[in-house]
Amino acid sequence: MTNGLSGPRKQFLDVLRVLATCAVVLMHVLTGATDVTDASIVPEYRSLLLSVMDLVTWCVPIFLLMSGYLFLNPERTLTYPVMIKKYCRRIALAILLFGVPYAASELVVAERTFRIRMIPEALKMTLTGHTWSHMWYLYLILFLYLITPLLKKVLRVLPVWGVAAVMAVIFLGSSVAPFLNKVLDVNSIPVLPDGGVYFLYYLCGYFFAVREVCVDKAESSGTSGKGMEAGLDTEPVRGKRIGNVWLMAAAVLMMGMILSRTLAGFSIQMAYNYPFTVLLAVLLFAAGWNGRRDGAASTAREKTHRIPWQEAGALSFAVYLVHPVYVNLLYKFVKITPFTVLEQCGVQSVAAGQVVLILLLAAFCLVVLALATATAWVLRKIPVLRKYVL
């Protein structure tokens, strides 16, 4: 997750960033509830829960696509000193400032007391990746940031078709092959590590950036004067139409994923390397991105609409960091989850229970999102945190 770059081209990133952050919160509201709930309650709602997971698991892939789009842009120069000092430092500080207290809280809960020695223990846990589960993304993005300058050098000499071939191999080996093994209930199909799919998302972002650069160069070299003005006039309309096509494709895919769970009883769960999650993430990113400058023909009204998205997008990283605090408070200390409330409602039929459960998940998500957003807003008021971490 990055804060992005300034400029007229980046408005859609704020929209995607905010929506993906909301999806992350909903995903953790759901998974956190199932983790602390009696397994006997969940099975009759399994197809619904899997459907909801399918509809939100694109969130982390979208973050990786955005990072690849921003940092692997061929027109952007990134040296190791800049990458480490500006970007890696920010992620490393976030890991320490939030990971250590989270790890320490686990020790306190486990031992029901606080010892001063827990601080170095928590630091060791954080450095070895044993803090709260949502922090895993920061370790991943830190690794990707560290290899980005070297990766950009490789991408400069590697033809586009070569990059596409690498991506195809990763997709087949880390996503399709594991999926086929699960569907066919075999282990004979060779696979690549599941983690390879994260590299695939990062490279997908690069492809969008390359396409954008090609479009810009073609326009700057082949259009001028009145022709250029006419092109700018039609550009937003054409871009919106293309975006709508991608959005419709994503909606069709979502509907197919839901029907496969609810009607066909498809129960395989693969998280971020699920082939349909890969396709959905790319389609949603394409729907937001249109290969054009968002601000090329912006009106005053469009600029007014952009400001709230920018402000919300600026809070997204902090919201991601703190929202599990409120999920854990509700589930582990207050002892209230969507499933406990559902039990108290005394719903008789499964169909009615599914409707109530959807409403409860939405309500819990909104509560957690509101509390996390308020906390993020306060944290960003602290100058040192705003400048170096958030």
Rounded mean pLDDT for each run of 10 residues along the chain, 390 residues in total: 51 93 96 82 82 94 96 91 94 96 92 90 94 95 96 93 95 95 91 94 94 72 52 57 88 94 85 94 92 49 69 94 96 91 85 92 97 97 93
**How many helices (H) and strands (E) in the chain?**
16, 0
pLDDT at site 228: 45
Is 380 inside a domain boundary? Answer: yes
For 33-151, list the strands marked E by DSSP: none
CA distances in angstroms from 333 to 44, 132, 330, 367, 371, listed in the order given: 26, 16, 6, 16, 16
How many domains does the chain contain in total?
A: 1
- Please name the residue that has the structure tokens 């994923």: 257
Integer Cα distance of 169 and 337 in angstroms: 42
Is 362 inside a domain boundary? Answer: yes
Burial of 183 (0-12, 13-18, 19+ CB in 10 A): exposed
pLDDT tens for 16-43 read 999 999 999 999 999 999 888 876 667 7
pLDDT at site 320: 97
pLDDT at site 41: 65
Is 1 inside a domain boundary? Answer: no
Residues 6 or more apart from 140 whose CB is under 8 A from it? 198
Is 35 inside a domain boundary? Answer: yes
Is 3 inside a domain boundary? Answer: no
pLDDT at site 216: 66
Closest CA to 17 of 293, 377, 315, 379: 315
163 touches 203 (CB < 8 A): yes
Is 71 inside a domain boundary? Answer: yes
Is 2 inside a domain boundary? Answer: no
Is 378 inside a domain boundary? Answer: yes
The domain in which residue 256 lies consists of: 8-388
pLDDT tens for 102-153 read 999 999 988 888 899 999 999 999 999 999 999 999 999 999 999 999 999 9
pLDDT at site 291: 55
